[in-house]
Structure 1
Amino acid sequence: MQINQVSTQSCQVSDLQLLSEGVYRVILKPHQGYIPDYRAGQYLEILLAGGEASAFSIACPPVPMQVELELHIQKLPSSANSIKLFNELEQGSVSIRMPKGQCFLESIPDRPLVFIAAGTGFAQMKSMIEFSLNKPGHKEIYLYWGARSPEGFYMPNLPIHWASSQFHYHPVVSDVPGEDSWKGRQGLLFEAVIDDKNLFPDSEIFISGSPQMVYATFDALRAENFKAENIHSDVFEYAPRS
């Protein structure tokens, strides 16, 4: 599928807000005053001063007259690259390159949509979910968001706000201490999806997370007879199996 031409822009960092668990909501406003065309689910690269490029999903869908971009970025104190990135963000200006990525929604399929996100993989799913919710006639939408602890759901109220008869939210925590008050679903994220497989036998599935997580989920879904061509992830492009 053809994507829009990639361009480079300089952006003002208009907001840098700590949400939870070291995850920041970053708002960028291009100095040129316009945002390059992109599709819900695509990502951009922040170009650091030394030439490195760091990729982050665009957490907002494209809308008319758009003036800003939203990212969700986790600060990693043990990573020199992460420290360098946040130093540049705190200085108030960064260069970006976009759009990137082949895992996106251009229109709304006539079938249920299943979004499976680990950690900040929620950003990509947020863009596609909001795009879908703004379109009339969408089918059932399911979001499975996995975190190590309840604090990992860094925007806990947003999926609850989306909830409706056609939007179904399933947070899943993998590591729950015995004294924790979490009463929701526990275990591996793909296990929760498999448990619910009869709800969406013919669906389009989008996965965002580490390559290990994505391929484990893909294999589990294939073992349950989900079609490979209906399972989508950026990992298939940037970390293909040999």
Structure 2
Amino acid sequence: MQKVSCNVEELHEMADTLWYVRLKPEQVVDFNPGQYLLVVMADDDKRPFSIANKPLENGEVELHIGASPDNTYALQVLRRMQEQGKIDIQLAAGKAYLRDSRHPVILMAGGTGFAYTRSILQQMLADGLHKPVFIYWGVRQEEHLYAHEELNAWAAEHKELTYVPVVQNGSEHWQGKTGLLHDAIMEDFPSLNGYDIYVAGRFEMAGVAREAFKEKGVDPERLFGDAYEFI
């Protein structure tokens, strides 16, 4: 993998405990939509984060980092970025990148796993949507839907795109789907055969989804997620 130093061009909190980071690598970098990078904290300490944008000509890389007070793993990365204004990364990693396919697509994102699906979706929009694409984004509270307006705008602009937010603990004002993310997909699709499905989120969620989707006839060769390299 390529190792490169980056300047931290932008860092701000998008929502409670959710941070946006924009990095400018000091040399040209290359990755496929849906791949991730490793933040190099030390030679024996490299921390993975999904890339949240499609490959850009200016080489910039965006990250969406969830960092609650009990998540020192991510907070230490943010603190170094804030204090030094620079960070070393390695890329690109991951085999669950966007495939060239005619199959309709389901993008399934839990929490900040949305970053992974955003990279894929951005590339698909840039290439032109010629098939149905469904993005399901699950969060615990609706305030964590930090890209809700962006996704609604994209869905309004592209008739092939359907955006379905799912809030696990919806308030009395929430009008959308509630409950578990994979259940929402199971309810909406009589069959998952013939779909390309990209999954990002906690390993537990990815594992449960894989087993559940078998009941709907998913083709294991068309189910993509970096979690499946480890579980």
In terms of mean alpha carbon deviation, does 217-226 or 41-50 score higher?
41-50
| 2:141 equivalent to 1:141 | no
Q: Which amino acid aligns with 1:31?
A: E
The one of 3, 13, 19 equivalent to 1:18 is: 13
- Partner SS, residue 134 of structure 1: helix
| 2:153 equivalent to 1:165 | no
| TM-score with structure 2 setting the length | 0.93
The residue aligned with 2:177 is 185
| TM-score with structure 1 setting the length | 0.89
The structural deviation recorded for 1:228 is 1.3
| 2:121 equivalent to 1:129 | yes
Q: Which amino acid aligns with 2:62?
A: E
Residue correspondence of structure 1 range 188-207 to structure 2 within 5 A: 188-198=180-190, 201-207=193-199
- Mapped to 2, the partners of 1:197 and 1:81 lie a distance apart of 37
- Mapped to 1, the partners of 2:162 and 2:191 lie a distance apart of 11
The residue aligned with 2:91 is 98
Quickly say closer, same or farther: Cα 1:88–1:197, change in 2 above 3 A.
same
The structural deviation recorded for 1:83 is 2.9
8 Å CA contact 1:21–1:154 kept in 2: the answer is no
In terms of mean alpha carbon deviation, does 199-208 or 11-20 score higher?
199-208
List runs of 5+ in structure 1 lacking aligned partners.
Answer: 1-5
8 Å CA contact 2:106–2:195 kept in 1: the answer is yes
Superposed CA RMSD in Å reads 1.6
The one of 142, 156, 180 equivalent to 2:148 is: 156
Quickly say closer, same or farther: Cα 1:31–1:137, change in 2 above 3 A.
closer
The one of 50, 60, 66 equivalent to 1:57 is: 50
8 Å CA contact 2:39–2:47 kept in 1: the answer is yes
Q: Which amino acid aligns with 1:56?
A: F
8 Å CA contact 2:193–2:219 kept in 1: the answer is no
8 Å CA contact 1:117–1:144 kept in 2: the answer is yes
- Partner SS, residue 148 of structure 2: coil
- Partner SS, residue 55 of structure 1: strand
- Partner SS, residue 63 of structure 2: strand
Q: Which amino acid aligns with 1:139?
A: K
8 Å CA contact 1:7–1:98 kept in 2: the answer is yes
- Partner SS, residue 157 of structure 1: helix
1:30-78 residue CA offsets vs partner (Å, 9 max, x unmatched): 123x2x2110000001011474111111101113x23310000011212
Quickly say closer, same or farther: Cα 1:31–1:170, change in 2 above 3 A.
same
List runs of 5+ in structure 2 lacking aligned partners.
Answer: none
Quickly say closer, same or farther: Cα 1:67–1:100, change in 2 above 3 A.
same
The residue aligned with 2:66 is 74
8 Å CA contact 2:19–2:64 kept in 1: the answer is yes
- Partner SS, residue 110 of structure 1: coil
- Partner SS, residue 121 of structure 1: helix
- Mapped to 1, the partners of 2:40 and 2:143 lie a distance apart of 30
In terms of mean alpha carbon deviation, does 93-102 or 160-169 score higher?
160-169
- Of all paired residues, the percent bearing the same amino acid is 29
8 Å CA contact 1:39–1:106 kept in 2: the answer is no
- Mapped to 2, the partners of 1:234 and 1:202 lie a distance apart of 20
Q: Which amino acid aligns with 2:222?
A: N
